[in-house]
Structure 1
Amino acid sequence: MGRIFISAAHGGTEAGRNDPGAIAGGTTEAKEMIFLRDLIVTELRTRNLEVLAVPDDLSAAQTIVWINSRARSLDITLEIHADAASSPSVRGASVFYIAGNDQRKKNAETVLMGLLGRVPQLPNRGVKPDTDSGLGSLQFCRQTKIAALLMQVGFISNPEDRALLQNRRRDLAIGITEGITAWNQANNPDQPTPVVSYPNINININGQNYPEQGALINGNAYIPIDLVDRLRVDITKVANLVRVNYRQIVYIKAVDLRNYNVSIAWDSATRTVKLRSILAVCPGQIEQIISNGNTSELELQIFLKNNNEAALTQFPELPKFYREEATLEGVNHDLAFSQMCLETGFLRFGTDIQPQQNNFAGLGGVGGGAEGASFPSGRIGVRAHIQHLKAYASLEPLVQQEVDPRFRFVTRGVAPSVHQLSGRWSADLDYGTKITAILRRLYESANLL
């Protein structure tokens, strides 16, 4: 039977200071997760399972290194988090797994059902691929060398979830323990083979079969590192990709290439991992604000509706507005639309800005009020968004009359790349990464990736 690694999120040192995680209701995410983790460890040990608790003073990166330096092939690991949202009504538990891995998805369902079976008062937010997270990927799921899941136990910002975390810790711990135990049993065959041997898989790149085969390792598709150049990806300076030496060849986990604008799909019938590079669609343009978009109005509509069934009820022409207004100013409408999806939660809003303000990008007013700017129509709101993007990305004059209330306050041309909006448009230093994560999902939805 493999061992179990348990990590309580946050509590370590990040960027030179202690990271408490989310803070709400007089407590911190780190504190609550450490309490819960300790109970889970106790419950697992009463079942005669070997458990390793990750030290609390490690950073997120150090946590992964700590696990990888001790892990063996049949071990598993779970990291527990408490989520937080701007609205205190948002609540529930979920589990993230590495995208495209059906085996890990089943493991995630097992762990989540263990928790909800003991604490049915927690709403079920389902299991989700890590590509649905805010950053588009979760390093804990991807960089650990063993099977890994990330659980969000509840929302610390919600009073009901917080009460469950604090008053029913043991029930939560027992439920999670039961889920982990079932996962561990499913992950460990009765007679593990002592010889390392992995099934071969086929590789398809941009519709063409690749002559060399990959390997299926712990349920994940791995590909030879020498084919990465064909996808125009330079990973020579990236140290945190998972690399495996097998058959005297270095392999990397295929799903890790998704961070480099490569889509990954799995065809179980033919045991083929299918890779498609967006650089073949729009070379050099994926992150440039002043560039051409690639999606149609219908593709934008489908993507928006798939993420919010009611999105087009109030703003049925929004995809059309983004294509038309962005094209006039030379702005990439795909990027602008993805930013809108991030800022509004796919038109759910839920922040200080209300739908009737027609403010789709969190634009502030000239007076600096908390409520943000308002615009007389959806088209004018989109126009202001596009103009603000152009202010950051270009020195060229506006084609249409200025409607962006803060256009004149922007240092023109300071952010030609969407990543340079981080810390400028938003104080979030991962802001650009979150926009491109949505952009990749848009291109996957439109079969451009």
Structure 2
Amino acid sequence: MGRIFISAAHGGQEAGRVDPGAIAGGTTEAREMILLRDLIVTELRSRNLEVLAVPDDLSAAGTISWINSRVRRGDVALEIHADAANSPTVRGASVFYIANNNERRSNGELLLVGLLRRVPQLPNRGVKPDTESGLGNLAFCRQIAIASLLLQIGFISNPDDRALLQTRRRDFALGIADGLASWSRVIDPTPGTPTDPNYPQINIKINGQNYAEKGILVNGNAYIPIDLVDRLQIDLSKAPNVNRITYRKIVYVKAVELRDFNIAVSWDANTRTVTLRSNLVICPGQFDKIMSNGNTSEVELQLFLRNNNENALTRFPDLPKLYREEGSVEGVNYDIAFCQMCLETGFLRFGGDLKPEQNNFAGLGSIGGGAEAASFPSARIGVRAHIQHLKAYASLEPLVNEVVDPRFRFVTRGVAPLIEQLSGRWSADLDYGTKINAMLKRLYDSAGFLNANR
């Protein structure tokens, strides 16, 4: 059986300071994960499994480098996190795996079942592709050279999850150890020389046409030859984190990483074929421009909301229509505004500082630094204020409608024409723009823009 690498998230140096992770209830995510990790390591070693604990003083990037410098075939890697949410009612455990890898999804199910058998009071939030994470992809799932998963053991911001973790830490550790042992047995490779792997070949299809050269399957992930990337006119020179391997004198790249270059990637297990589509409806040069045209229909926005919160449209049935109308009037891409609303409100679950009756869908502040965020008399006016605030950041053009955004005049006009430039401005979160971009890709994937001809 291979070895098990386990990392406790946070606690290392990030941007010149110790990263505590989420903070809630008088504790930190780093502290809770280190305590849990130590128990898991002890339990696994008592079962005669070989375990390597990642040093706690490493950054996220350092953690990945530390693991990759030591891996052997058949090893697995797990990072444990505690999530946090604006609303203290959100709770439960989930596992993230690299998108399009059905084998890794099955591994994640083993891990989650192991935990929930020991702690059945913990709600099950499911096994999810990393494209559904806040950032749209997870480095720990993608950049580790062996099979890897990221486990969120609950929400530190939720009192019930936090109490469960602190009073039944050993049960958490036993459950995770059960899942890890099962996963490790599944990954254990067939006999062979570790230094001379024999990866199975896979078929490649591009825009509906079969490609003559074969790809390879590595740890359940499809890899394609680098010359195919060149043919797709993708420049990887500025993407050092895209996984590359050399196998039998040919350089291959992990296919799923091409999603970040607006290439749709899917996998057919029956025919062992990785399919790539580059004929996107969305023009790449317009993707992240706030002042641009929206692309979705009202129905597509409704479906996206309902698929992520089945009760989302109960209180605000006309919200997709309002975003399309108000965005179009001011020349703001309503898809971007709509995705920002989904991020800010948790798909209209609200919680935290925002309440549904405020009709504030983007966390807009009030004048004078009041304790509460701004309130608006109707959903349409709330959407209009959101659109106007985006236009203030992204454009020098005057408003079409009368101003209803209470902080419109305080914005330096035109300072943020791109989504990424909202980071540190609209929100103090420096990943804020990345999270909106990730949500936008989820919307376009849901609408079929990223995986089919239209």
TM bracket (short chain)? over 0.9
Q: Is the 8 A contact 2:88 2:351 kept in 1?
A: no
How far 1:290 sits from its partner (Å)? 0.9
Distance 2:342 2:292 in 1: 19
Q: Secondary structure at the match of 1:281?
A: coil
Give the TM-score normalised by the residue count of structure 2. 0.95
Structure 1 partner of 2:246: 245
Structure 2 partner of 1:12: 12
Distance 1:287 1:208 in 2: 30
Structure 1 partner of 2:378: 377
- Is 1:435 equivalent to 2:436 in the alignment? yes
Distance 2:104 2:91 in 1: 24
Q: Is the 8 A contact 1:135 1:434 kept in 2?
A: yes
User: How is 1:138-153 mapped onto 2 (pairs within 5 angstroms)?
Assistant: 138-153=138-153
Structure 2 partner of 1:262: 263
Structure 2 partner of 1:274: 275
Moved more, 367-376 or 418-427: 367-376
Structure 2 partner of 1:323: 324
User: How is 1:18-417 mapped onto 2 (pairs within 5 angstroms)?
Assistant: 18-189=18-189, 191-192=191-192, 195-277=196-278, 281-417=282-418
Q: Is the 8 A contact 1:331 1:389 kept in 2?
A: yes
Give the TM-score normalised by the residue count of structure 1. 0.96
Distance 1:7 1:209, change over 3 A: same
Distance 1:242 1:232 in 2: 18
Distance 2:231 2:401 in 1: 42
Q: Secondary structure at the match of 1:438?
A: helix
Q: Secondary structure at the match of 1:85?
A: coil
Q: Percent identity?
A: 73
Mind listing any 5+ residue stretches in structure 2 that lack a counterpart? Answer: none
Distance 2:232 2:374 in 1: 42
**CA-to-aligned-CA distance 1:94-139 (integer Å, 9 cap, x gap):** 1111111111111111011111111212221211111111111110
Distance 1:206 1:363, change over 3 A: farther
Two-structure CA RMSD over aligned residues (Å): 1.6
Moved more, 321-330 or 7-16: 321-330
Q: Secondary structure at the match of 1:324?
A: helix
Q: Which amino acid aligns with 1:214?
A: G
How many corresponding residue pairs? 449
How far 1:39 sits from its partner (Å)? 1.2
Distance 1:331 1:415, change over 3 A: same
**CA-to-aligned-CA distance 1:120-167 (integer Å, 9 cap, x gap):** 122212111111111111100100000001111122222222222222
Mind listing any 5+ residue stretches in structure 1 that lack a counterpart? Answer: none
Distance 1:37 1:225, change over 3 A: same
Distance 1:399 1:211, change over 3 A: farther
Distance 1:175 1:236 in 2: 42
Q: Which amino acid aligns with 1:166?
A: Q
How far 1:281 sits from its partner (Å)? 3.0
Q: Secondary structure at the match of 1:210?
A: strand
Distance 1:157 1:99 in 2: 27
Distance 1:443 1:85 in 2: 25
